[in-house]
């Protein structure tokens, strides 16, 4: 009886020491689940970090674009300002010289002229000289009488001057129009990124909200700051162009009236002879005494 009990106890001890395969499988599955649970937050954090980087890059790119717009705006304002100062100076000087000339022919002989008014007058004088020389009647461009030809040439030159005055203003208009929207785009994108981060962190405290949204709102402020000088500069130069254009139009009308008084006739300007030009030949002097006696000349 004692031997039987000892044998049963040995069998039970051996059974408890024998490993069970099912238990190992369950432990391995539990470890894999734990590892997957640790990987998921890491992947979420990586995605959140990538989104933050993308949002920051877009906002920074928007700010750099607005800075480039600002540099272009102030450069154009400076260039156009210098251009208008020079135009006003040259037109004022030429107007004094033109209206101070004795007659229309003397005005045509003026030299060292600059500015839009001087170029318009030069085109008019050149047209009258060509018409007087009879060299402008061989093609369609030069058909018509002298007044029609003069009007057409003056109008063409005035259009060229108008194009030069309006160059660059389309850039100012474009910058003034789109800069607020570019800044608003950066702001909206920054706020989207800030709200996404708030939803993921689960915290809506002032520290979490104020920083990202405040940085995003800077883009809108910069966009407005860029647009205001561009719009002001565009309106100012448009007004100045209208004044200059009206003055050129009045000058062209007065030029045609003055040409009409002279019957659209003008002499070619007299050019001084060159210093190295050929000197008129003197009559040959017969220096030989025999030649003079042969011709019957008594000395």
Give the start-to-end residue ranges of the domains of the chain.
48-267
- For residue 142, the model assigns a pLDDT of 61
18 confidence band (pLDDT: 50, 70, 90): very low
- For residue 6, the model assigns a pLDDT of 53
DSSP of 122-138: HHHHHHHHHHHHT-S-S
- For residue 87, the model assigns a pLDDT of 94
Average pLDDT estimate for 210-230 = 86
279 confidence band (pLDDT: 50, 70, 90): very low
Tell me the whole-structure pTM to 2 decimals: 0.67
Cα separation, 56 vs 15, whole angstroms:
64
- For residue 160, the model assigns a pLDDT of 92
Q: What is the DSSP letter of 202?
A: T
Quote the longest CA-to-CA distance of the chain: 193
Residue 95 has pLDDT above 70, yes or no: yes
Q: How many CA atoms lie within 13 A of 8 on its CB side?
A: 5
Strands, E assignment, 25-166:
none
Q: Which residues of 256-284 are buried (b: 16+ CB within 10 A; e: fewer)?
A: eeebeeeebebeeeeeeeeeeeeeeeeee
Angle at 234 between CA 233 and CA 235, to 5 degrees: 95
Q: How many CA atoms lie within 13 A of 139 on its CB side?
A: 3
């Amino acid at each position: 009886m004692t031997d039987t009990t000892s044998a049963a106890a040995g069998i039970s001890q051996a059974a408890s020491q024998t490993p069970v395969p099912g238990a190992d499988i369950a432990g391995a599955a539990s470890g894999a689940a734990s590892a997957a649970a640790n990987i998921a937050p890491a992947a979420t954090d990586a995605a959140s970090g990538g989104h933050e980087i993308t949002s920051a890059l877009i906002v920074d790119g928007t700010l750099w674009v607005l800075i480039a717009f600002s540099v272009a705006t102030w450069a154009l304002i400076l260039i156009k300002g210098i251009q208008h100062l020079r135009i006003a100076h040259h037109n004022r000087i030429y107007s004094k010289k033109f209206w101070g000339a004795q007659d229309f022919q003397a005005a045509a002989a003026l030299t060292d002229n600059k500015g839009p008014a001087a170029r318009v007058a030069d085109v008019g004088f050149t047209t009258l000289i060509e018409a007087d020389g009879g060299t402008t009647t061989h093609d369609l461009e030069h058909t018509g009488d002298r007044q029609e030809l003069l009007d057409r040439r003056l109008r063409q030159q005035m259009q060229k001057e108008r194009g030069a005055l309006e160059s660059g203003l389309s850039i100012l208009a474009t910058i003034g129009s789109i800069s607020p929207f570019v800044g608003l785009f950066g702001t909206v994108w920054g706020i989207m990124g800030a709200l996404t981060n708030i939803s993921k962190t689960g915290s809506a405290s002032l520290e979490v909200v104020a920083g990202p949204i405040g940085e995003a709102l800077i883009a809108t402020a910069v966009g407005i700051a860029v647009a205001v000088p561009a719009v002001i500069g565009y309106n100012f130069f448009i007004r100045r162009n209208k004044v200059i254009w009206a003055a050129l139009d009045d000058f062209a009308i007065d030029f045609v009236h003055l040409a009409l008084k002279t019957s659209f006739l003008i002499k070619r300007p007299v050019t001084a002879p060159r210093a190295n030009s050929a000197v008129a030949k003197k009559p040959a002097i017969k220096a030989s005494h025999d030649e003079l006696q042969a011709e019957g000349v008594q000395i």
